[in-house]
Amino acid sequence: MPRKGFSNFDDYDDGFDDEDAYDYDYDDDDEHEEAEHKEVEIAWRCGICTYDNDESMNACDICGAIRLDPVAGGNQTINNNTASMKQKERQYLSEQNPVKKERDRSETSSQGRSNANVGCIKSGKSLPKPKADTSHETNSSSKNMEASESLTGSMNKMSLTRETETSRDVKIRSARSKSNHKPEEWMLLDKESDTLTQLNLAIVGHVDSGKSTLSGRLLHLLGRISQKQMHKFEKEAKLLGKGSFAYAWALDESAEERERGITMTVAVAYFNTKRHHVVLLDSPGHKDFVPNMIAGATQADAAILVVDASIGAFEAGFDNLKGQTREHARVLRGFGVEQVIVAVNKMDIVGYSKDRFDLIRQHVGSFLQSCRFKESSLTWVPLSAMENQNLVSAPSESRLSSWYQGPCLLDAVDSVNSPGRDVSKPLLMPICDVVRSNSHGQVSACGKLEAGAVRSGSKVIVMPSGEQGTVRSLERDSQGCTIARAGDNVAIALQGIDANQVMAGGVLCHPDYPVSVATHLELMVLVLEGATPILLGSQLEFHVHHAKEAATVVKLVAMLDPKTGEPTKKSPRCLTAKQSAMLEVSLHYPVCVETFSESRALGRVFLRSSGRTVAMGKVTRIIQDS
């Protein structure tokens, strides 16, 4: 499996050229055509800049203001208007020339076949409606205009019906119940084959708290990094004047990460304890790379929350506005992580002070409990990564051992309970990274198996494209294997599939049980402390597993009682901090998603705005647009 994994987010671009949309040749003396066109085309006026927009637009084309009273039906209304105009046009032309009736039938059937093939295409902004051709010209000019109008109308109809076709496609594919799935014998776990259980462990915390240094030092002490490699890292770090970053460079491999001295993507490493085979996910702590941190947290079974004990650094990292400690803890809880080891690092800087440790434990502990972490699931470990105190053995420093008799970090990791695995369910693997080999024409999908099992030769389907392929080979923990089960981090080499259809944010699943693909969702969310109010029309970033998509709040359904979950107020005007609510969002492009009751991994969501996480929750309903 590659050592780095992160999700991509493409900027939204509808690829539409306004100058080409109205490139029609109309005579100046055809005043009756313009008059009739004005009667057919309906516009709404923007309340900000007073620009008359097309009826199909939900936002002003000039200033971008959100339309507050969109016409119910949306794309369906436009499609009906376009179809009505086309029908009238064909009726008139067929009366003028009966020979063209058969040609019109063939055009209609070809348009139907074209629309049937766009079910999985990303939906974008709709093209403006073309001007209706009602001119009474000669036979030859009518033919030319009809051909141009038919082509433009067909393209518009394809664009306008993409979302509808996607919804229909999802409905058909999701019809088969997963309860009918019967696992094969090879999918079930063989307890005698492997005594170690896999544990996916994420390391999170504020920037410069020492996460990468802690990870590198731990791997070096466990023999995962040789002395020769460590000597190389130390030499290279000293040449750049960053000698203290030597252990961090074991995981921060890119030149930019080493130059800036921060982790930017999720680094993956492996080590063993007495009970677990641990997959270590070193996540970035800088606020600019929280989306990459989310990509690591979504794969975690447990986590190490690293806190800087030094004076001023803890306060900065724990700050509600500028620090990342609180946000990382919320993200972990939102993705269902229950067991957390709080590693209070850099204790050597504060002289291994027990008072400092107790102060940090009091503040962080009360916050974690407010995030619904149980006290019994939290382990507190004071340590120093640079001084090698309390990492893999009891501390040798008397100032620490005099008041701390708890487990070292390695023992604390070994005491974590590995969660249960859904090996009997259909295959489900969110794709976190894609590796393409241009020379061999191969593609590999990397990620964590959330459910089911897979082996060489298995048939799989990649969503949302719907492309089917065959598993050519498997790699687990960067080593070849024949079978991978739920909980394993794997790289699956595929054959018989277009490499361009495999992308981060997609999902690899069983051919008979593909996941849903949707753009309209109902969510139950909790607005986080310090978040900006959420209004109707708010533009947000929508995060689910490894997918990230731009979203718009289209409806505030109701506010909920945080204890009972019962509605307390319908259609609120806005949502503020610490409020629970039901709302609906519309995504700019389709994503692979399931309701929380169907799949927890594909049903947990985060909403972010202006570089901050503003709400977290779950998918309660997938709305099929009519």
Position 246 scores a pLDDT of: 85
Cβ neighbours of residue 83 under 8 Å, at least 6 residues apart?
A: 157
Report for 153-167, 175-189, 191-205: range of highest mean pLDDT: 191-205
Selection from 378, 418, 412 nearest residue 392 by Cα: 412
* Mean pLDDT, residues 330-349 taken together: 92
CA gap 334, 204 in Å, rounded? 14
Which range is least confidently modeled, 140-144, 341-345, 465-469? 140-144
Could you count the other beta carbons within 10 Å of the beta carbon of residue 316? 16
Domain boundaries, the chain: 197-415, 428-509, 517-623
Position 575 scores a pLDDT of: 94
Selection from 511, 540, 548, 506 nearest residue 611 by Cα: 540
Pick the CATH number of 428-509 from 3.30.300.30, 3.10.180.10, 2.40.30.10, 3.30.1480.10: 2.40.30.10
Position 500 scores a pLDDT of: 87
Relative to beta strand 378-382, strand 340-345 is parallel
CA gap 615, 621 in Å, rounded? 17
Question: For residues 466 and 509, is the Cβ–Cβ distance under 8 A?
Answer: no
Question: For residues 270 and 224, is the Cβ–Cβ distance under 8 A?
Answer: yes
CA gap 291, 416 in Å, rounded? 26
- pLDDT tops 90 at residue 77: no
pLDDT digits (tens, 9 = 90+) for 436-494: 876 666 899 999 999 999 999 999 999 999 999 999 999 987 788 888 988 888 999 99
CA gap 342, 317 in Å, rounded? 14
Cβ burial 74-112 (10 Å sphere, 16+ → b, else e): bbbbbbebbeebbeebbeebeeeeeebeebbeebeeebe
Residues in the chain: 626
pLDDT digits (tens, 9 = 90+) for 240-282: 887 788 888 888 777 788 778 788 888 889 999 999 999 999 8
Residue 400: exposed, middle, or buried by beta-carbon count in 10 A (0-12, 13-18, 19+)?
A: buried
Q: How far is CA 153 from CA 91, 127, 141, 161, 204, in A?
A: 16, 10, 18, 12, 52
- pLDDT tops 80 at residue 187: no
For 517-623, which CATH superfamily applies?
A: Translation factors (2.40.30.10)
Position 252 scores a pLDDT of: 79
Could you count the other beta carbons within 10 Å of the beta carbon of residue 160? 22
* Mean pLDDT, residues 579-593 taken together: 95
Selection from 481, 488, 485 nearest residue 447 by Cα: 488
pLDDT digits (tens, 9 = 90+) for 356-403: 999 999 999 999 998 889 999 999 999 999 999 999 999 999 999 999
SS3 state of residue 480: strand
CA gap 585, 550 in Å, rounded? 10
CA gap 322, 512 in Å, rounded? 46
Residue predicted with more confidence, 34 or 311: 311
CA gap 128, 136 in Å, rounded? 24
Which range is least confidently modeled, 13-17, 48-52, 469-473? 13-17
Could you count the other beta carbons within 10 Å of the beta carbon of residue 235? 11
Q: How far is CA 127 from CA 14, 112, 355, 425, in A?
A: 9, 19, 65, 42
Position 493 scores a pLDDT of: 92
What are the backbone angles phi and psi of residue 498, rounded to the nearest 5°? -70, 125
CA gap 10, 384 in Å, rounded? 40
Give the single-character DSSP code of 452.
S
Could you count the other beta carbons within 10 Å of the beta carbon of residue 438? 7
Residue 610's region, left for phi above 0, alpha for psi from -120 to 50, else beta, is left
| CATH topology agreement for domains 428-509 and 517-623 | yes
Percent of the chain with pLDDT over 70: 71
Position 174 scores a pLDDT of: 44
Predicted TM-score (pTM) of this structure: 0.68
Distance of CA 600 to the CA centre of its chain: 14
Mean pLDDT computed over every residue of the chain:
77
Selection from 183, 78, 138 nearest residue 458 by Cα: 183
Position 138 scores a pLDDT of: 39
Position 181 scores a pLDDT of: 65
What radius of gyration do the chain's Cα atoms show? 29
Position 564 scores a pLDDT of: 85
CATH no., domain 197-415: 3.40.50.300
Q: How confident is the model at residue 189 (pLDDT cuts 50, 70, 90)?
A: low
Long-range contacts of 481-484 (CB under 8 A, 24+ apart): 482/455, 482/456, 483/186, 483/453, 483/454, 483/455, 484/449, 484/453, 484/454, 484/455
Selection from 172, 157, 249 nearest residue 212 by Cα: 249
User: In this structure, is the dihedral angle defined by the CA atoms of residues 473, 476, 480 and 486, taken in order, positive or negative?
Assistant: negative
